[in-house]
Chain A
Amino acid sequence: MRLGLVIDLDTCVGCHACAVACKQWNTSGTTGPLTDYRPYGEDPSGVWFNRIRHYEVGDYPNSKTINFPMSCMHCEDADCVTVCPTGASYKRKEDGVVLVDQTKCMGCNYCSWACPYGARELDRESGTMKKCTLCIDRIYDESLAEIDRQPACVITCPAHARFFGDFDDADSEVSRLVRERDGMQLMPELGYNPTNRYLPPRINTPIPTDDVRRPSLAGKVKQWVNKAVAR
């Protein structure tokens, strides 16, 4: 099994709901709490597993705003695991999920240096490294209904831009989406072989405007009067 996420960059609206849901669930989860520093101070900061950035792709008028959620990619060749000197960082053989054993971590930051995606953040309160667990305490919880056994970010996404599943299963929804819509890896040239994939925006055909009726002379005069007369 190779569990991971597919993120649709076409439908993500950048609402940060996934990040908030993640923080809420995981702060009481296996690696929690996710500490906040100076929450009511001038420069509040804290540990998050999921961060959303916003980019402008292309130049005006051919530009598009892209909202870009990022969490752990659960890489196939995860350097964060190999560089860890204590063995606190590990990748589960059975499902490919990368986790940090909080009882073993010595907080040397080395794994965060090795991660190109910024998926790991040091919790300065506990002195240990924390990262996305793919909601490991949720996806295997048999007391939950089948539909709820998904990461918190996936369940909460109001735009339905996130999908969770097994990439080793060719029939799973994530595999199908990657196949049909050219799911991309981030920075493939570094060779980490991230499991998570990103679906590029769909190419939309422009809405035709040829059939829109031109205004009549009387209509133009009306428009001008409306603009000129102060209400």
Chain B
Amino acid sequence: MHPALSVIFFTVTSGAGFGLYSLTAVLQLFRLGPSLDRTQLLVALVTSLVLIIAGLLSSTGHLANPKNAWRSFMRVKTSWLSREAVLAVAFFPFAFLYLIGVIFYGAHVPIFFVTMGLIGIIFGFITVFATGMIYACLKTMRQWNTPLVPANYLLMGLTLGALIHMAIEAYFGADLQFISGVAGTALVMTGVMKGIYYFWIDRVSGPTINTATTFTRARVRLLDTGHTAGTFLTEEFGYQISEGLRSVLRTLVFVLGFILPLILVALAAYLAPGAGAFALAVTAVVSSYVGKMIERWLFFAEARHVVNLYHGAQHT
């Protein structure tokens, strides 16, 4: 699949935003970890909303006809893309009500605003799930058609959210023991999950050139594609990366996305709160963000659409 930068930026960034929002709200509402004051909460919530909005705006970048984008709310009954759009919009009223609660009451928000925050968390999670399902529901790409995909989207968002939350706490000189544990656990779980995904998609399964052409009792070879230059199909679905580049990028996903941040998070937890810990936490965020951008790029580049069978691929 041709990797579109706007979609890669959108899924990583708004995923991180939803992760940060959910984590901030959960930690506050259930009184977990060091309690944050009004300013710290506001910084975390506003950052998450900025990330979400920036991501959603970028998602319109890959539309060929954006003037009809408003129509994408029309088919909630059948389309995951439509569901995602509606859920993302439904998230905002609750998120803003919770934000207003924090603005007026600081760390001790009344029960009404707490409820709004909780509903916001639920909508945020389902939105990210819907984003994953946009890909997972397609039977045409076996690398996407697995429940591991929405699980991966949710975990990736949560991990980045935890890291950003930690950087914000570090900036305000809070005690990092609790949040570093959360971030570390999230990093390990997400990394292992990604490993499972790579293990899974490396096995060949699904349609072959034989079922695609109905000739199941003989070898089928492409003689000629019938066109002399590229078409929409070859441009959109014919994208391929070399074995070498793929293994380099997969290694980078683990090193930048999970291993390096894990070390930095652990180091930051041992340091006394201050500029050093903050610098480590920010480096962890940047490293993990870059790793996850590479991960998302690979997610697209590695997916093989079944239409490639008609262009000579023996299996997907």
Contacts and interface: CB of A to CB of B under 8 A. Distances in A.
Interface stretch (A25-33, A81-89, A149-157, A218-226): A81-89
A70 to B, nearest CB: 7
Nearest to B4: A109
A47 interface: yes
Interface string A82-117: 111111100000000000000011111110111111
Given A45-B231, A106-B71, A116 B307 contact: yes
Nearest to A9: B214
A56 B212 contact: no
Interface stretch (A140-148, A168-176, A187-195): A187-195
Interface in A44-78: 44-48, 51-59, 65-66, 68, 70
A33 B211 CA distance: 34
Interface stretch (A120-128, A159-167, A209-217): A120-128
B231 A108 contact: no
B80 A83 contact: yes
Contact of B232 (A53, A122, A191, A200): A122
A85 B207 contact: no
B85 A109 contact: no
Interface string B117-142: 00000000000000000100111110
Contacts of A2: none
Nearest to B229: A43
B221 A55 contact: yes
Contacts of B231: 45-46, 48, 51, 121
B78 interface: yes
A54 B223 contact: yes
B78 A187 contact: no
A10 interface: no
A181 B267 CA distance: 71
Contacts of A87: 71, 74-75
A108 B81 contact: yes
Contacts of A68: 213, 310
A209 B227 CA distance: 39
Contacts of A57: 213, 215, 218-220
Nearest to B139: A190
B64 A117 contact: no
Interface string B36-74: 000000000000000000000000001111111101111
Given A51-B226, A54-B224, A105 B310 contact: no
A16 interface: yes
B90 interface: no
Nearest to B137: A83
Contacts of A79: 138-140
Chain B CB count within 10 A is highest, among A52, A104, A110, A126, for A110
Interface string B274-316: 0000000000000000000000000000000111001100000
Contact of B224 (A53, A105, A109, A113): A53
B65 A128 contact: yes
Contacts of B80: 83
A85 B214 contact: no
B233 interface: yes
Contacts of A42: 229
A53 B66 contact: no
A85 B82 CA distance: 5
B64 to A, nearest CB: 3
A10 B244 CA distance: 42
B224 A118 contact: no
A184 interface: yes
Nearest to A79: B139
Given A51-B226, A58-B218, A122-B64, A86 B140 contact: no
A187 B229 contact: no
Given A52-B226, A70-B310, A114-B140, A85 B236 contact: no
Interface of B: 1, 62-69, 71-75, 78-82, 85, 134, 137-141, 207, 211-215, 218-233, 236-237, 305-307, 310-311
15 contacts: A44-B229, A45-B230, A51-B231, A56-B220, A57-B218, A59-B219, A82-B79, A85-B71, A85-B79, A86-B75, A106-B64, A107-B65, A116-B307, A190-B139, A191-B139
Give the top 9 A-B pairs by smallest Cβ distance, nearest first: A107-B64, A127-B65, A127-B64, A86-B71, A106-B68, A85-B82, A107-B65, A118-B307, A43-B229
